[in-house]
Amino acid sequence: MENNDFMRTIEVNGVKVEIDLRTARKIDTFKVGDNVKILRKDYDTHKVYSGVIVDFVAFKENPAIVVAYFSDSYAGVEIKFETITQDSNHIEIAACLPHELTINKNRVVDKFNIAIEQKKREADELQQKKDYFIKNFSKFFEEDKGGIEND
């Protein structure tokens, strides 16, 4: 390829500029509330998470982006926070496309609903065990100690 294959003329606000595509960089802009994907390196693996930008911290020496991201597994969904700076070499950030957001949002909400239902079942089971204990073992305590307190 010739050098001219890499050169493009673009117009920005009425000003024509010639750029070399080999050295051109894409600049993403983000704001608080934007949905993003993060690529996080954990040990030997890389994993992509869905998240949302929650803060920009304008530290003089090392400005940071704070992202809340959702880690889902068979055990449920956790909301975690990652602080990304220029020194963060274990994590990358990218914009989230609208269709990706819908899929991920529904999946996360479903996981939260499942976790809520599991906890409700656990609470019901504990209540049943307590009721069983009070009903069936109170006779022993009443005979032995003169009764127990019910709450």
pLDDT tens figures, 53-84: 888 988 888 889 999 888 777 666 778 888 88
- Looking at residue 1, its pLDDT comes to 45
Is residue 73 a contact partner of residue 111, using CB atoms and an 8 Å limit?
Answer: no
pLDDT tens figures, 109-118: 787 788 889 8
Is residue 20 a contact partner of residue 6, using CB atoms and an 8 Å limit?
Answer: yes
Q: What SS3 class is residue 102?
A: helix
Q: What is the mean pLDDT of residues 140-150?
A: 58
Q: What is the mean pLDDT of residues 4-16?
A: 77
Strand partners, 95: 36
Query: Residue ranges of the domains in the chain?
Result: 3-135
